Chains A and B, each alone.
Chain A
Amino acid sequence: MTYEFTKEDLEEIEKIKAKFPEVMPATLPTLWVAQNRFGHVNPDVQRLVAKTLELPEAHVHGVATFYTQYYKEEKGKHVLDVCTCLSCQLCGGYDILEHLEKTLGIKKGETTEDGMFTLNEVECLGACGYAPMMQITNDSYINNLTPEKVDSVVETLKKGEKPDYEQIEMPLRKVK
């Protein structure tokens, strides 16, 4: 498969480049543009990014492999990143992970056969007070998980819908 940026992508990349005095700083944001377009940044996509920015392939490859959010290969349609770090561990993050392994019939790190879901165990996502939690495909956070809530999120995703953004207030804040 050959990968190409659309005209809109290229415009966005130009805007990104304008933020910085050099072109190299555009590497991370351009990898994001690529991943949003193609769903991953496999070696072919990395090459496209390098060519577009006129940077060495080795540089782009080095960056893509350093950061965990870039998918270096194709993933399931939905990537479920379950946090099991400190606060999530204390609040049952591993139970959530196990529940998902059972429900989806896969182990962490794997993708379901129909290509719908990839399941990952991840480090702290900065939602510790709302533990246990998970992030869906680098986007929505789903907080205060219970097995029931996990099931309903999986159903929502299967239906092709996006779970709502969960706004969480500061408990003592009394807005006037």
Chain B
Amino acid sequence: MSSVDWKNYEPVLIPNIKDIHEIDVYTKNGGYSALKSVLTDKSKWADQKSVIEEVKKANIRGRGGAGFNAGLKWSFMPPADGGPRYLACNGDESEPGTFKDRKIFEYNPHIFIEGALIAAYAMEVTAIYVYIRGEYKVYIDMMEKAIQDAYDKGMIGKNIFGSDYSVEMYVTGGAGAYICGEETSMLESLEGKRGYPRVKPPFPAQKGLWGRPTTINNIETLAHVPNVINKGADWFSSIGAPNHPGPMLYGISGHVNRPGVYELPSGIPVLDLINEVAGGVKNGKKLKAVIPGGSSTPVVRADQLNGITMDADSLRDVGTMVGTAGMVVMDEDTDMVDMLWRITHFYHHESCGQCTPCREGTGWLEKIMLKIKNGNGEIKDLDLLLDITTQMEGRTICALADAAAWPVRHTITRFRDEFEARCKKSVHAVA
């Protein structure tokens, strides 16, 4: 069992300070001091590398879904050659079940802006782009204002804090396409094109925006950076689960009494999150299943959850992932066939269509699931579905195909009875 003391946790990412979203309040409460420190305190931060090393040591695992060490990612940028270099901040937030970055935009935009500026300095970036999904119109407006305020105070622009570092920062909106959250698709979209993911290599650190070195980070990932600089890597890595440390924004939705976004340490027991934090399953019903971190993370049965905590290692033990920590809770009356059909519909709708296994595969998954949902499926269709998932995984340009395949594979395996019960008895069936 985890010993994470979440009950006494004081939020640091979105602290309990009134109007912290305003730049003056943010600054009065120590805001932008981390940026000032890295730019001017040469005794503490000798060079850019020292900043990257500290962030690497903190082990901020990417909060966009893949969980990659942010500082390590920054270290992949090639040496500066005098040309433009970019940081692209991923605020696409389109994975079903995920609704956390919007809280940063609304309640503490400057901690993100400060984090992005520190990241930009560390990687010698010349311009920062913040890509926000088009549906988040209000948050795009809020971010535009926050960035303008930061410009007005001299936090962004020429010679920040009198240093020789200068950088520009821009907000730009999407226009409705889940795939644009995939990092190279986002770069295409930023370049004003259709969001078709790029073949890797070359990786964005080599050839990103306009062919120049680019790093992509999630909004929450960057928002953790100022605290790491102020309080140190050891402070960050002492919070929550040792191998997946730090504060975390959990988004909880579905059949719970108190859905919403919560800032708590990583590594909380899943059952505590549901029963205590989110007020338990609605209408006194029993828990049936949980999708821990967005629609692509495999579903887990309630009986598998004892002692499981919200971090990569523990969730791997039950064959799933942290993803975006956007948890979807399902009560005992949830129809897993309907639920899975809706997920297959989503991925089919959102496949960009570049790769045959994904374009055709997501279509077949949806079609067969619809047939089963309507009571016309046969048991052999379940095996066909599983077979299609193996033909999709690892064979495509981006990970959308995998993200579409995993829920199918794992929901069927973990709730096979329910799927079989929905199928017609067929001559080909074994039972």
Contacts and interface: CB of A to CB of B under 8 A. Distances in A.
B18 A176 contact: yes
Contacts, number: 169
A62 B343 CA distance: 27
A176 B193 CA distance: 45
A141 B210 CA distance: 34
Interface string B73-104: 00000000000100000000111111100110
A27 B95 CA distance: 25
B137 A138 contact: yes
B110 interface: no
A69 B96 contact: no
Contact of A63 (B172, B192, B251): B192
A7 interface: no
Given A28-B172, A87-B97, A174-B16, A131 B253 contact: yes
A80 B17 CA distance: 36
Nearest to B343: A86
Nearest to B291: A86
A145 interface: no
B262 A124 contact: no
Interface residues of B, number: 64
A87 B193 contact: no
A120 to B, nearest CB: 11
Contacts of B234: none
Contact of A67 (B16, B170, B174, B191): B174
Contact of A126 (B93, B194, B260, B277): B93
B376 interface: no
Interface stretch (B128-136, B221-229, B306-314): B128-136
Interface in B132-154: 133-138
Given A25-B191, A66-B195, A84-B342, A175 B96 contact: no
Given A128-B96, A128-B326, A173-B14, A85 B253 contact: no
B250 to A, nearest CB: 10
Interface in B168-190: 170, 172-178, 189-190
B295 interface: yes
B339 to A, nearest CB: 7
A89 to B, nearest CB: 5
A117 to B, nearest CB: 19
11 contacts: A25-B192, A32-B134, A66-B194, A87-B96, A87-B254, A126-B102, A126-B135, A128-B251, A129-B260, A138-B134, A176-B18
Given A126-B94, A127-B99, 19 more contacts: A24-B192, A25-B190, A27-B193, A28-B175, A67-B176, A84-B342, A86-B328, A87-B254, A90-B255, A90-B330, A123-B94, A128-B97, A128-B328, A129-B99, A130-B259, A131-B259, A173-B11, A173-B16, A175-B17
The 8 A-B residue pairs with the shortest CB-CB distance, nearest first, are: A69-B176, A67-B175, A68-B176, A27-B192, A128-B253, A129-B259, A124-B96, A87-B253
Interface of B: 11, 14, 16-18, 84, 93-99, 102-103, 106-107, 133-138, 170, 172-178, 189-195, 210, 251-255, 258-263, 277, 291, 295, 326, 328, 330, 334, 338-339, 342-343, 346, 349-350
